[in-house]
């Protein structure tokens, strides 16, 4: 009898938790997708930046969180999306919508080649090599002045064409967050599927093994490269949208610093769940904006210094005290409350 009651209790509680989660997600979606209609220009632009970073971070959830391949090259694929899209529209004169898809396809092909070479390596070295490749990419767009505009970058990238008379910033905001939602659903589906399990089994970082995966019939190289390509294509789509949003791009945006910050975002949010990417991007961008706006006025000192310190402190604190990221915070608090009861 007692056992039945306990299991009943758990299912009721789980059901309640699920309802609570659904309500939370519903309210969140409602708030996000109506934002441009009631918030000012500044919050909307911040939320748009959160969206771009969420797209970048979502790629790393599959690649790093599931497959255990630490990549510090997301900024490069973001840059590829932005530059290819910009070149196709500005220099070739293609319309902007198809150029996004062409850029994504081209980036995917390049990523497949890069991944095929790099992912033979094992462990943290992959991070070092992707970082180096990102740096090479940066030097290349800096040097190819006649094509990419060099250090000054490219200007005059056309807007996306859309029906209706929504302001452009509101349209981009909605588009970016729709993309975030779509990629979130895609990643979640992968996590709970045959491919997701294959990736987790070969994840050396979290106690899996490539040999075990092979013996189970998993083509480890194919899965690692697929995850790498998917992460790159996510970043490329984000980059193309970014180019058509700001309409001006310059190489410094796609420097290795952004790759590292994106990695910090997923770690802070929680690397094993797609929600972690969105949470991490939100937390980090909010910290940045608050510190940029407030700290130099209150505390003095140059802009940009406090956020660097904050990134470092937040990253170290997460890794030491909350290794599964902010996403796991409610669960942890609940467990602690239950333990103290």
Partner 1 sequence: MEFSTVLQSLLSGLTLGCIYAALGLGLYVVYGVTRVLNLAQGEFVMLGGMITVSLSAFGVPLFPAILLAVAIVSLTGAILYRFIIFPARHASGSTLAFLTVGFAFAVKGLTLLVWGWEYRTLTSFLGSPSIHLWGATIFGQAPWVVGMTILMVAGLYYFFGRTMLGRALRACADEPLGAKTIGISPARMGLLAFVIAAALGAVAGATITPLTMTAYNVGIPLTIKGLLAAFVGGMHRAEGVILGGLLLGLTEALSAGLMPSGYHDAIALSILLVVFLARPRGLLPAHANIED
Partner 2 sequence: MLRAEYMATRSGFPHGSTDPLLELRRLSVAYGRLVALKDVDLRISSGELVCIIGPNGAGKTTLLKLVNGLLKPSSGEILFRGEQIESIPAYKVARCGITQMFQDVQLCPTISVLDNVMTGCHVWTRAGFLSTGFRRGHAREEEATMRASSLEQLNALGLTDRVTAMPRELSWGEQKLVGLARALVAQPSLVLLDEPYGGLMQHEIDKLSTLLRRLTCGGVTVLMVEHLTDVVMDVASKVVVLHYGEKIAEGEPQAIRNDEKVVATYLGE
Q: Which positions lie near partner 2, rule CB under 8 A?
A: 186-187, 189-190, 193-198, 200-201, 203, 206-209, 211-220, 223, 226-227, 230, 272
Q: In sequence order, what are the beta bridge partners of 154?
A: 249
- Radius of gyration over every alpha carbon of the chain, rounded to an integer in angstroms: 21
CB of 182 to partner 2, least distance (A): 10
CB of 57 to partner 1, least distance (A): 14
Please check whether residue 313 is in contact with residue 268, taking contact to mean a CB–CB distance below 8 angstroms: no
Q: Which partner, partner 2, partner 1, none, binds residue 313 by CB below 5 to 8 Å per kind?
A: partner 1
CB of 210 to partner 2, least distance (A): 10
Q: Which partner, partner 1, partner 2, none, binds residue 49 by CB below 5 to 8 Å per kind?
A: none
End-to-end CA distance of the chain: 24
Residue 26 vs 304, nearer CB to partner 1: 304
CB of 11 to partner 1, least distance (A): 35
Choose among 234, 233, 213: nearest CA to 222. Answer: 213
CB of 202 to partner 2, least distance (A): 9
CB of 136 to partner 1, least distance (A): 5
Q: With CB under 8 A as the contact rule, which of the stretches 14-22, 103-111, 214-222, 307-315 interacts with partner 1?
A: 307-315
Can residue 182 be called a binding residue for partner 1 (CB under 8 A)?
no
Q: Cα dist. 252→47, 148, 264 in Å?
A: 21, 13, 19
Can residue 14 be called a binding residue for partner 1 (CB under 8 A)?
no
Can residue 304 be called a binding residue for partner 1 (CB under 8 A)?
yes
CB of 201 to partner 1, least distance (A): 17
Please check whether residue 176 is in contact with residue 276, taking contact to mean a CB–CB distance below 8 angstroms: no
Site string for partner 1, 138-167 (x = CB under 8 A): -xx-xx-x----------------------
Q: 258-287: which residues touch partner 1 (CB under 8 A)?
A: 260, 263-264, 267
CB of 190 to partner 2, least distance (A): 5
Can residue 319 be called a binding residue for partner 1 (CB under 8 A)?
yes
Site string for partner 1, 81-120 (x = CB under 8 A): ------------------------------------xx-x
Q: With CB under 8 A as the contact rule, which of the stretches 21-29, 93-101, 252-260, 272-280 interacts with partner 1?
A: 252-260
**Sites of contact with partner 1 (CB under 8 A):** 70, 117-118, 120-121, 123-125, 127-129, 131-133, 135-136, 139-140, 142-143, 145, 205-206, 256-257, 260, 263-264, 267, 301-302, 304-316, 319-320, 323
């Amino acid at each position: 009898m007692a056992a039945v009651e306990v299991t009943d209790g758990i299912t009721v509680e789980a059901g309640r938790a699920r309802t609570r989660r659904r309500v939370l997600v519903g309210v969140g979606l409602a708030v996000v997708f109506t934002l441009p209609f009631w918030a000012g220009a500044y919050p909307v632009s911040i939320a748009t930046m959160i969206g771009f970073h969420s797209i970048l971070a979502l790629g790393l959830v599959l690649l790093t969180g599931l497959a255990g391949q630490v990549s510090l090259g997301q900024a490069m694929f973001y840059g590829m999306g932005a530059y290819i899209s910009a070149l196709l529209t500005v220099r070739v004169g293609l319309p902007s919508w198809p150029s996004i898809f062409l850029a994504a396809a081209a980036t995917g092909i390049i990523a497949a080649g890069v991944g095929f070479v790099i992912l033979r390596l094992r462990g943290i070295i992959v991070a070092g090599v992707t970082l180096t490749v990102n740096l090479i990419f940066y030097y290349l767009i800096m040097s190819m002045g006649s094509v990419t505009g060099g250090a000054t970058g490219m200007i005059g990238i056309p807007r996306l064409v859309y029906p209706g008379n929504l302001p452009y910033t509101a349209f981009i905001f909605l588009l970016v967050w729709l993309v975030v939602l779509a990629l979130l659903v895609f990643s979640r589906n992968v996590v709970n599927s045959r491919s997701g399990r294959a990736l987790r089994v070969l994840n050396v970082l979290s106690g899996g093994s490539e040999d075990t995966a092979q013996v189970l019939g998993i083509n480890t190289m194919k899965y690692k490269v697929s995850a790498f390509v998917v992460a790159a294509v996510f970043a490329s789509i984000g980059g193309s949208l970014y180019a058509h949003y700001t309409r001006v791009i310059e190489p410094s945006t796609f420097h290795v610093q952004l790759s590292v910050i994106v990695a910090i975002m997923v770690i802070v949010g929680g690397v094993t769940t797609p929600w972690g990417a969105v949470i991490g991007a939100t937390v980090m961008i909010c910290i940045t904006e608050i510190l940029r706006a407030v700290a130099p006025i209150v505390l003095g000192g140059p802009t940009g210094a406090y956020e660097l310190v904050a990134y470092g402190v937040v990253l170290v604190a997460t890794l030491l005290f909350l290794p599964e990221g902010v996403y796991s915070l409610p669960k942890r608090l609940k467990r602690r409350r239950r333990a103290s009861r």
